[in-house]
C-alpha cells in the first residue's frame, strides 16, 4: 500500500480522487491548497503526489517546483491533475518537475493506470 498525497482546493474533486486512491488499496493524504501541499509533502513524505494547478495561496505549478527542488521531497513523483489543457500548460508543468500531466475530467481507468505506472515498485 502506497501513501498518496492529493492536493486540490475543490472538496468534490478531492473526494472523487480520494475514492479512486482508496479503491486501488492506497492510503490517501489530503491538502486543500498548494502551500499546505508542500508542507504535508515535507512532513509525510508520500509515495506519490496528485496536484491540482488552479488553487489559492500557492498554485500547483509553484508547489510542484518547490517540492521537486527540495532535497527532502524531490524524489516524490508529482502528477499534475488539472483543467488546464493547453500544450503550453503541459510543457510548463513538466518543466516544474512533474512526472505526468492529466486533465480533468479524467477517467478512473486513466488515473489508476498513471498511479500504477508512477508508484515506486
> Any idea where the domains of the chain sit in the sequence?
3-118
Q: Is residue 17's pLDDT more than 80? A: yes
Summary mean pLDDT of the chain = 96
With a threshold of 0.75, does the pTM exceed it?
A: yes
Give the pLDDT band (50/70/90) at residue 63: very high
Q: Which residues are bridge partners to 28 per DSSP?
A: 4
Give the pLDDT band (50/70/90) at residue 26: very high
pLDDT given for residue 85 in this prediction: 93
pLDDT given for residue 56 in this prediction: 92
DSSP state of 74: T
The whole-number average pLDDT for the span 72-98 is: 97
Nearest CA to 42 out of 17, 66, 10 is that of 66
Neighbouring CB atoms inside 10 A of 107's CB total 9
Q: Is 88 helix (H, G, I), strand (E, B) or coil?
A: helix
Nearest CA to 42 out of 69, 17, 62 is that of 69
Q: Is residue 121's pLDDT more than 90? A: no
CATH fold for domain 3-118: Rossmann fold (3.40.50)
Give the pLDDT band (50/70/90) at residue 23: very high
Q: Which residues are bridge partners to 112 per DSSP?
A: none
C-alpha distances out from residue 113 to 11, 20, 119, Å? 23, 11, 10
Amino acid at each position: 500500500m502506497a501513501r498518496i498525497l492529493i492536493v486540490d482546493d475543490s472538496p468534490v474533486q478531492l473526494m472523487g480522487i480520494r475514492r479512486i486512491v482508496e479503491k486501488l488499496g492506497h492510503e490517501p493524504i489530503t491538502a486543500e491548497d498548494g502551500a499546505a501541499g508542500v508542507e504535508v509533502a515535507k512532513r509525510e513524505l508520500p509515495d506519490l503526489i496528485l496536484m491540482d494547478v488552479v488553487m489559492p495561496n500557492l498554485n500547483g505549478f509553484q508547489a510542484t517546483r518547490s517540492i521537486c527542488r527540495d532535497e527532502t521531497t524531490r524524489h516524490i513523483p508529482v502528477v499534475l491533475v488539472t483543467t488546464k489543457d493547453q500544450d503550453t500548460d503541459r510543457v510548463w508543468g513538466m518543466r516544474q518537475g512533474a512526472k505526468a500531466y492529466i486533465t480533468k475530467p479524467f477517467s478512473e481507468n486513466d488515473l489508476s493506470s498513471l498511479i500504477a505506472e508512477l508508484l515506486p515498485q
